[in-house]
Amino acid sequence: MDKIAYPVLTEKTIRLLEKNQYSFDVDVRSDKTEIKKWIELFFCVEVAGINSHRLPGKKRRIGSITGYTIHYKRMIITLKSGYSIPLFSSK
């Protein structure tokens, strides 16, 4: 689970939970098939599809040094009907 950084909970991702879609920030070097394998193994679910996009890093400045925040890749994972991830359950 080193490749999956953390689950994302924003207003948009909470709306996606109704469609059985879950969002995770993952390592930039990981690909869809690798993340699919990890999600299916770790959560014991079946993945129907995965969409991904790279988030832009925000520019930060400390004194005279300019840099960027950490870059992540966000994966939106759609599960097959009947499956859910207990991490996001509303119980």
The CATH code of the domain that includes 45 is 3.30.70.330
Residue 89 lies in a domain: no
- Global pTM exceeds 0.85: no
Specify if 36 maps to a domain. Answer: yes
Per the structure, the count of domains in the chain is: 1
Within-domain flag for 91: no
Segment 40-81, tens digit of pLDDT: 998 899 999 999 999 888 899 999 999 988 888 999 999 999
Cα separation, 79 vs 50, in Å, equals 9
Q: Is the pLDDT of residue 91 over 60?
A: no
Question: Around Cβ 47, how many Cβ atoms within 10 Å?
Answer: 18
Rounded to whole angstroms, what are the CA distances from 86 to 22, 44, 70, 71? 11, 10, 28, 27
Flag whether 18 is in a domain: yes
